[in-house]
Amino acid sequence: MIQEVSIETAAIEDFNGIRRVVHDVWPVAYKTVITPQQIDYMLRMMYDDESLLKQMMEENCEFILAKVKDEIVGFASYSEMASGEFKLHKLYVLTSQQGKNTGRRLLDEVCNRATKHGGKRLELQVNKKNEPAINFYHRNNFIIDHEDVFDIGNGFVMDDYIMVKNLALDLSSE
């Protein structure tokens, strides 16, 4: 049986559902990548109400949700960084929902929305040790552009690949 996944724009009322997803995913996805202390720090830093509100209102991040029967099963956030250049900030899907094309649906929706707003390029950061995510993005036409290390405070860093996707090439292949 194929489940119906709907994609919709998130609102402030969805913060608890967004947090539920990351608290399900992060301990599994990052357990061999970063320490439990860094996971706790980053979850608090990026997903409390104040931070999510700032991302939405001040940093112009649009959050979109994947829902099954009104339950949030995944989300993504993105924003325009410069004319024609967009950044995918987050994309997470409940562990029970992975492998069901939900992540692909969210990514496709981000690409479509960015393209509608003149997007030519989509960039993201992914931890160098997060092979499942790197492989997912490779399968979806992202390439590693470069790598960088970001100091996120409290003695922690993010050691990431910067991956990019040419959205104009995607359009020409359809």
**Which tokens is 102 given?**
């939900």
One digit per residue, pLDDT tens: the chain, 174 residues? 557 899 999 999 999 999 999 999 999 999 999 999 999 999 999 999 999 999 999 999 999 999 999 999 999 999 999 999 999 999 999 999 999 999 999 999 999 999 999 999 999 999 999 999 999 999 999 999 999 999 999 999 999 999 999 998 755 444
Look at residue 172 in the predicted model and tell me its pLDDT.
44
Name the β-bridge partners of 106.
none
Look at residue 170 in the predicted model and tell me its pLDDT.
59
User: Locate tokens 């995913």: which residue?
Assistant: 25
For the chain, give every domain's residue range.
6-172
| Cβ–Cβ under 8 Å, residues 165 and 110 | no
Selected from 3.40.630.30, 3.40.50.970, 3.40.50.300, 3.40.50.150, the CATH number assigned to the domain covering 6-172 reads: 3.40.630.30
Look at residue 168 in the predicted model and tell me its pLDDT.
83
Q: Cα dihedral angle (68, 74, 77, 78), rounded to 10 degrees?
A: -80
**Which tokens is 33 given?**
């990548």
**Which tokens is 166 given?**
């040419």
| Cβ–Cβ under 8 Å, residues 95 and 25 | yes
pTM of the model: 0.93
CA distances from 84 to 31, 32, 95, 98, 127 (A): 35, 35, 32, 30, 25
| Cβ–Cβ under 8 Å, residues 106 and 74 | yes
